[in-house]
Structure 1
Amino acid sequence: MNIPDPVETFRQEARELLDQLEAGLLDLEQDPSNADLVNSTFRALHTIKGSGAMFGFVAVAEFVHEFETTFDRIRKGQSRADTALIRVALDAKDHIHLLIESPHAEIGAGEKILASLHAIMEGSAPAEAAATPEPPASGAERKWRLEFYLPPDALLHGTNPLLLLEELAQIGPVSVTALTGRIPALDVLDPEIPHIGWRVDIEADDPAAAIDDVFLFLRDTMELTLAPLEDSVSIPHEPPAEPAESPRSARPSTPRRPDNDRSDTVERTAATSLRVPAERLDELMDRVGELVIAQARLSQIAGLSSDGALKTVAEELERLSSGLRDTTMGIRMVPIGTLFNRFRRLVHDLAGELGKPMEFITSGEDTELDKTMIERLADPLVHLIRNAVDHGLESADKRLAKGKPAKGKVQLSAVYSGAEVAISISDDGAGLDAARIRAKAEENGLITPDTKLTDQELYQLIFAPGFSTAGTVTSLSGRGVGMDVVKRTIDGLRGTIDLATVPGVGTTATLRLPLTLAIIDGMLVRVGNGRYTIPLAAVEECVELPEGIDAQGSGRNFLDIRGTLVPYLRLREVFDTGTPAEPHQKVVIVSSGEGRVGLVVDQIIGNNQTVTKQLSKLHSNLKSFSGATILGDGTVALILDTAHLVASGQAYVDRNIGGRAA
């Protein structure tokens, strides 16, 4: 049994907290007066500090403590989160990440960051805050009574009640009393559950915020009340799980559940989320794929048998494997917002580096993609966003001269589009210069002066290796590397890239990607002696090839589908089967994005679950196929790349608008 490394677990959780911290800082820059953002950012720092100290990351705890102390002034309204402060705070977040990933890293940079942070905070302190008199001495402070019971799993998670009491003692003079009324009989006592409660009388002006910090990790599941000691009505401390058994509680008393019931509730809550290594999900997906293949084999055998019991078992197994497939796929699906959030910092830093004020907008963060797709999309999107900022957006002066707002706009969005997800990167910059692209392509020998290209074909040239229209080489662009990598990566994901531009208005790059690469529903068809699978999500409808059309006809033609001309491809000719045409051919209408094409096949065999197997490198140049699958009889069927076939049909439309209708 593999026991998780607690230090690595801390690192994983710290990465998530640092992502939250970065997002909070970037949001705070846009809305400095948002108290919720200030508090959530402070809580992230407090959690990192506490966890770091617990797991031996002393340098992390000490650095974050200074960062947290300085940032606490924003919470108290003594300083303002301006752009300069956010920039240094982001550097501090990067340094925390470095200390966590490399505990022996040089700490000198951290001291400089904290010095800059202190200087900015001191310089931004409001005059009225500086003139505010100090709180009255302890003689004028009030006395408060705090009563609390820790959650049943607190000891198991490493919580030490004595350390909590020591932190409370730092708020002001305290008097501590143990509450032993809940200790059960010895024969039923569970030593792992904290049965003892605590009554703490504190002398302080208003300790609520400080108590919040002490119980930051526990307050959602513990019992806690806070009341002025001289009053008869208690003030429930946010957010008590249940009223404590105190005569001063103003909340209606309710029967307290037994401790074992509370423990069960906490365990169920903790079990709602589970961290699983990605490798285990990949292995699970492989096993499900093999199960689907075995189930297809059993279904085929059952179909040839007259044994009713065998047919029943085959149908039940098909139902179960289909459900298991859907569940496993659901586990692998990840909201694309987890990827989008990474680019906010990128755009923020690029704006400062290039001196271009800009607004970064995201939408469709809830759109889900397979985790493998998410991982492989990061680099292509980085290149496209950098390209939009560097090449697309003009400087503030040029934008104002053109009547545009000084602040540019970059938008990243994702939407479902049939069997695909469309991810768009848009800017409101100058747009693509077709003449300049063509001149550069001719200079590089990619095309000749007399080559005729559509606008889309011309724009696609920017994805050629070494292609760049930049006049000078900078740290961001000019070497012609990056866009060809984008193209190769998207092709490897069986996706496409479309470019649309309006001179002076902006450019939009749209990536169209399949929802998953693992298991899909497919339609099995026969063309000649070969069998092929068409992704079922791309299929719109199936029709008969109309009589009167020469089955031996060559080339591409059009069908009239309810008043709309749809080009169709004879797969017999595309695949060069060499077999005679059969009567009563079928046309499968498939779509990709806004395009549609009909695929002429000899027979539609039926639907099946298709386990995608990647083609070898020797077959990577077969653009009509996106992979292969193993059928129930053990033979192989190639999976058609509908996006490529639709693009082929659309290219024919662009060149032959006058084609004849059938």
Structure 2
Amino acid sequence: MSTLDPAAIFRQEAQELLEQLEQALLDLEHAPDDDDLINSAFRALHTVKGSGAMFGFDAVAAFTHHVETAFDLVRKGKVAPSRALIAVGLAAKDHMRLLIEAPDLAETADGDAILQSLKQIVGGPPASTAAAETAPEPEDAPQSTSPEGTSTWRIRFRLARDAMAMGTNPLLLLDELRGLGVATVVARTEGVPALEEMAATECHLAWDVVLTTSRPRTAIEEVFMFVIDDMELSIDAIGRTSEGRRIGEILVDRGDVAQRAVDAAVAAQMPLGTLLVKSGEVSPDTLAAALAEQQHVRTGLGAGAGPSALPGNPQGGAKGAAKGADSIRVPAERLDELMDRVGELVIVQSRLSQVAASSNDVEVKAIAEEIERLAHELRDTTMGVRTVPIGSLFGRFRRLVHDLANELGKRIELVTVGEETELDKTVIERLNDPLIHLIRNAIDHGLEAPEGRAAAGKPAAGRITLTACHAGAEVMVSISDDGRGLDRARIQSRAEDQGLVPPGAKLSDAELFQLIFEPGFSTAKEVTSLSGRGVGMDVVKRAIEGLRGKIDIASTPGEGTRLTLRLPLTLAIIDGLLVRVGTGRYALPLSAVEECVELSAEEDARSRGRSFLNIRGDLVPFLRLRELFQVSEPPDRYQKAVIVSFGGRRVGLVVDQVIGNHQTVIKSLSKLHADVETFAGATILGDGAVALILDIANLVKLGMAYENRFKAAS
């Protein structure tokens, strides 16, 4: 079983944190007064710095330290989050990614120049990536105790009542404090209610910690950075003079008891702690915490005063009962392997169902039905594991839009809708490049320059909208803009010049707009760094069709253009319609099937030479798959026509028999058959035979060619 090495784990986590940082910076440009965005950026920087140092990425930690310092000034309100600062922050994020993913290339990049720009914006002396600045000693730092260079601090904290419900683990906070030096921890239970009044999700404990460390006070504050707004926290220095103090002095200094109570207890000539607890002046936990502090200070670094020996400490610390995380990171290849196994299970289940259907044993039939139900549930669950929100893809384009807007001198607003829509991870990975090209095209060709928008009475800022939603077994992803729209006359003129359509051809908008996906087609008047060479849109169409998807275009002059991608939920398992042509069996994606109609021998004879069906008044071209596949066996007396649709067009496929629904596990064809356009893949049937999966897009295209020839002849 393969495991990720620590460096790989850090790279994965850092990638997520850098994406979080980028999103926060881009949002901050539009909402500079949003404290949550500032804190989000700061937390991402802080975590990258800490994790980088932990995993040995010292260059990352050193560089990030300076960026974090700058955003700490923003967080404290000393520096405004200007556009210049955000631009440098984005450049710093890019350099951090380079330091993590390609350190050799990062050496040639000028990280010092980024930090110099950062220092000029926030003020202060120039920084260097060679080493992080040494944190200044706080004003209230005590005289160091033994050994030289360390300080002792008293830390008292109580988390918000709902802290654990919100995901905070106090044991991890205690572990972080222990990681700073030698710590003595005591849990205080005086706030714990009676059992019948206790809520399991609420935090009722408080903790007293005495910490001896060489780190500054800021390091302690950083431990509580994510929860500090909703908790009670005090951090007090304990000087060397505390070493010989008695328990009463410590209790008074901590504020746990008044001096008069201590004086009264001393006058009673009884053990001070016992008397104070007996009189109710302090709780047993408070006394235990004071005794632990006394012992910690006396022993210099707390030797001999281990947490497990202290009263009131649960299980000696954080290693006792920490619960596992509610999510885990799984390598993608394991999910692919799991999906393959589920696919094989579906095939075996199909074979079992066939055996059960031919058996008279009621028990076998019942078991087959139960196995079928479980296999379907396992398939759906596994497909759910493979799906990820499309928002993870949409988020990548915000930086693209930001940079292109600056490059072209346009103001552009990116709006995303339906980010929670889930899609197969493989589809999302292969969708990235096509969407990048479509967005670049919309920005370059679709959106007007500011003066053009002003002349058209539009807002100065153009809008690009990304939308995703489920539609049955498909996901609809649309890219729309509020720009000038497609120029119908120019598209037709260029299409005629390139011989794509005959001169003066009457084409609908849908037919005409599809021509922009032809290889080499471009209406750009000049070639730019973004577009104009006539390459790209045909690649986009091939990529989408490779995902078994399709593209629709709608455009209104002066109002904008919308491109809609129709994509399958998954590429691994689909519901199919199994048909027979001669002795061969074939599968059609069920999502493309509209209906099945009977084609009698008489209708078949009448339609020869025309190949059209009258479906409720609409003429639908059809293909005789027997002729296409060159089947020599005689046809069935009553053939069936399966009406399928793709891209708004319909075509009929004439088959000998419609067998029924079938769980289709898609297997790719070999490289030898990669150029066979009629088939999209193959599947294994329940009896072990192989059935080819028909490529609906190419069959519809073939049917349209028949229709065009018929129209031309008439």
Fold equivalence (TM over 0.5): yes
Aligned counterpart for 1:146 among listed residues 156, 160, 172: 156
Q: For the residues of structure 1 that align with 2:91 and 2:111, how far apart are their CA atoms?
A: 9
**1:315 aligns to what SS in structure 2?**
helix
Say if 2:174 is the partner of 1:164. no
Partner in structure 2 of residue 275 of structure 1: 329
Q: For the residues of structure 1 that align with 2:708 and 2:314, how far apart are their CA atoms?
A: 74
Partner in structure 2 of residue 637 of structure 1: 691
TM-fit CA distance, 1:211: 5.2
**2:414 aligns to what SS in structure 1?**
strand
Aligned counterpart for 2:681 among listed residues 605, 627, 631: 627
Matched-pair contact (CA < 8 Å) for 2:621–2:706: no
Partner in structure 2 of residue 113 of structure 1: 114
Change (3 A) 1:160 1:402: closer
What residue identity is the alignment partner of 1:319?
A: R
Aligned counterpart for 1:213 among listed residues 217, 222, 233: 222
Q: For the residues of structure 1 that align with 2:708 and 2:478, how far apart are their CA atoms?
A: 24
Partner in structure 1 of residue 401 of structure 2: 347
Question: Which deviates more, 105-114 or 69-78?
Answer: 105-114
Residue by residue over 1:261-292, the C-alpha shift from the partner in whole angstroms, topping out at 9 and shown as x without a partner, is: 98787333x1x211111111112222222222
Change (3 A) 1:245 1:544: farther
Partner in structure 2 of residue 20 of structure 1: 20
Change (3 A) 1:558 1:148: same
Residue by residue over 1:351-396, the C-alpha shift from the partner in whole angstroms, topping out at 9 and shown as x without a partner, is: 0000011111111111111111111111111111001101111100
Q: Normalising by structure 1, report the TM-score.
A: 0.78
Matched-pair contact (CA < 8 Å) for 2:548–2:567: yes
Aligned counterpart for 2:345 among listed residues 274, 291, 302: 291
Partner in structure 2 of residue 502 of structure 1: 556
Q: For the residues of structure 2 that align with 1:463 and 1:349, how far apart are their CA atoms?
A: 26
Partner in structure 1 of residue 58 of structure 2: 58
Q: For the residues of structure 1 that align with 2:317 and 2:698, how far apart are their CA atoms?
A: 59
Matching of residues 515-594 of structure 1 within 5 Å: 515-539=569-593, 553-554=607-608, 555-560=611-616, 565=618, 567=620, 569=622, 571-572=624-625, 575=628, 577=631, 582-583=636-637, 585-586=639-640, 588=642, 590=644
Change (3 A) 1:630 1:47: same
What residue identity is the alignment partner of 1:436?
A: R
Residue by residue over 1:328-367, the C-alpha shift from the partner in whole angstroms, topping out at 9 and shown as x without a partner, is: 2111111111111100000000000000111111111111
Say if 2:219 is the partner of 1:179. no
Q: For the residues of structure 1 that align with 2:665 and 2:588, how far apart are their CA atoms?
A: 12
What residue identity is the alignment partner of 1:629?
A: T
Q: For the residues of structure 2 that align with 1:218 and 1:309, how far apart are their CA atoms?
A: 59
Matching of residues 225-244 of structure 1 within 5 Å: 225-226=233-234
Q: For the residues of structure 1 that align with 2:684 and 2:320, how far apart are their CA atoms?
A: 46
What residue identity is the alignment partner of 1:164?
A: L
TM-fit CA distance, 1:591: 5.2
Q: For the residues of structure 2 that align with 1:152 and 1:393, how far apart are their CA atoms?
A: 52
Q: For the residues of structure 1 that align with 2:634 and 2:481, how far apart are their CA atoms?
A: 52
Q: For the residues of structure 1 that align with 2:447 and 2:26, how far apart are their CA atoms?
A: 21
Q: For the residues of structure 2 that align with 1:276 and 1:178, how far apart are their CA atoms?
A: 35
Q: Normalising by structure 2, report the TM-score.
A: 0.73
Matched-pair contact (CA < 8 Å) for 2:621–2:707: no
Matching of residues 316-327 of structure 1 within 5 Å: 316-327=370-381
**1:266 aligns to what SS in structure 2?**
coil
Say if 2:142 is the partner of 1:88. no
Listed as ranges, the gaps of 5+ residues in structure 2 are 125-137, 142-152, 160-167, 190-205, 237-252, 258-282, 290-311
Listed as ranges, the gaps of 5+ residues in structure 1 are 124-135, 167-175, 183-195, 234-242, 250-255, 658-662
Matched-pair contact (CA < 8 Å) for 1:628–1:639: yes
What residue identity is the alignment partner of 2:691?
A: A
TM-fit CA distance, 1:399: 1.0
Matched-pair contact (CA < 8 Å) for 2:464–2:482: yes
**2:658 aligns to what SS in structure 1?**
strand
Matched-pair contact (CA < 8 Å) for 1:625–1:640: yes
Matched-pair contact (CA < 8 Å) for 2:612–2:619: no
Change (3 A) 1:519 1:586: same
Larger Rg: 2
TM-fit CA distance, 1:473: 2.2
Q: What do you get for the CA RMSD once the two structures are aligned?
A: 4.2
Q: For the residues of structure 2 that align with 1:412 and 1:356, how far apart are their CA atoms?
A: 18
Matching of residues 240-639 of structure 1 within 5 Å: 246=286, 259=315, 266-268=322-324, 270=325, 272-449=326-503, 453-539=507-593, 553-554=607-608, 555-560=611-616, 565=618, 567=620, 569=622, 571-572=624-625, 575=628, 577=631, 582-583=636-637, 585-586=639-640, 588=642, 590=644, 601-616=655-670, 619-620=673-674, 623-639=677-693
What residue identity is the alignment partner of 1:146?
A: R
Question: Which deviates more, 483-492 or 646-655?
Answer: 646-655
Change (3 A) 1:177 1:326: closer
Change (3 A) 1:572 1:471: closer
TM-fit CA distance, 1:428: 1.2
TM-fit CA distance, 1:427: 1.0
Q: For the residues of structure 2 that align with 1:580 and 1:3, how far apart are their CA atoms?
A: 58
Q: For the residues of structure 1 that align with 2:317 and 2:377, how far apart are their CA atoms?
A: 33
**2:323 aligns to what SS in structure 1?**
helix
Q: For the residues of structure 2 that align with 1:641 and 1:259, how far apart are their CA atoms?
A: 64
TM-fit CA distance, 1:648: 7.1
TM-fit CA distance, 1:49: 0.8
Residue by residue over 1:186-222, the C-alpha shift from the partner in whole angstroms, topping out at 9 and shown as x without a partner, is: xxxxxxxxxx9653599xxxx9x985522348989x9
Change (3 A) 1:210 1:29: farther
TM-fit CA distance, 1:654: 10
Matched-pair contact (CA < 8 Å) for 2:550–2:646: no
Matched-pair contact (CA < 8 Å) for 1:559–1:568: no
Partner in structure 2 of residue 189 of structure 1: none
**1:520 aligns to what SS in structure 2?**
strand
TM-fit CA distance, 1:491: 1.8
Q: For the residues of structure 1 that align with 2:469 and 2:600, how far apart are their CA atoms?
A: 36
Matched-pair contact (CA < 8 Å) for 2:669–2:681: yes
Matched-pair contact (CA < 8 Å) for 1:495–1:514: yes
Q: For the residues of structure 1 that align with 2:288 and 2:48, how far apart are their CA atoms?
A: 35
Question: Which deviates more, 428-437 or 83-92?
Answer: 428-437
TM-fit CA distance, 1:75: 1.2
Matched-pair contact (CA < 8 Å) for 1:164–1:214: no
Change (3 A) 1:575 1:81: same
Change (3 A) 1:584 1:525: same
**1:267 aligns to what SS in structure 2?**
coil
Matched-pair contact (CA < 8 Å) for 1:335–1:366: yes
Question: Which deviates more, 315-324 or 441-450?
Answer: 441-450
Partner in structure 2 of residue 192 of structure 1: none
What residue identity is the alignment partner of 1:47?
A: T
What residue identity is the alignment partner of 1:275?
A: R
Q: For the residues of structure 2 that align with 1:614 and 1:58, how far apart are their CA atoms?
A: 45
**1:106 aligns to what SS in structure 2?**
helix
Identity level (%): 57
Residue by residue over 1:194-251, the C-alpha shift from the partner in whole angstroms, topping out at 9 and shown as x without a partner, is: xx9653599xxxx9x985522348989x997549977679xxxxxxxxx9955899xx
Q: For the residues of structure 2 that align with 1:586 and 1:263, how far apart are their CA atoms?
A: 69
Q: For the residues of structure 2 that align with 1:298 and 1:637, how far apart are their CA atoms?
A: 18
